[in-house]
Structure 1
Amino acid sequence: MRPESAALLWDIHAAAIRIAEFIAGKDGTSYSTDELRRSAVERQLEIIGEALKKVRIADPETAQRVPDIARIIGLRNILAHGYAVVDDAVVWSAASQRVPELLAVVDQLLAD
């Protein structure tokens, strides 16, 4: 792994931990009615997607080890550019289900 990839993976790790903290004890309904929390989670998902985009460019070998990298980057693009069509249920699913899976992958990559 390239050194810049490790730094980006640490950024992803930090953003994933923040998301976990932001949604702790919440469900999809309470999430969708909390504008501040939605904004915070969406920002961290943007950070994750942007960091993975940079990993994919700088270190394709490491990027290949991240499942669904294209979908994660795609979500970042929607959040950043298609903000008017953001589906809270999709973001909640990403935050509550996919981010923990991603965190496990990132932690393994950093351990290697």
Structure 2
Amino acid sequence: MSDGTLADALGAADWWYVELDLAGVTDKPAFMDRCARALGLPDYFGRNWDALADCLGDLSWAPAARGRLVVVTGWQEFALAVPHDWGIAQEVFAEAGDRWRGTETPLRVMLALGGSS
């Protein structure tokens, strides 16, 4: 843990850490592109809500880890621009967290209250 960052601490604990920075995202296609890039989603990811839910429900494509943490930053602009889509995104993230809760490799999705880094 060289500089004491969250990423360093999680890496030392063998957790997979991803920052999903949504700064500048104002529509669903940009949201899906950002998810694909940040999370390293597989090529078969269909860039729709069901596909995102499927990928987060079956993490066989993700690196092996003791746990997984996705921190969503810069989400406020997206939430204001397309509140309906933001609501669906929150549901998908919550369902994925519920799916992996209590397993040996939990998935947690957290919203950062500050801006993007």
TM-score above 0.5: no
TM-score of the superposition, structure 1-length normalised?
0.33
Higher relative helix content: 1
Relative to total residues, which structure has the larger strand share, 1 or 2? 2
TM-score calculated relative to the size of structure 2: 0.32
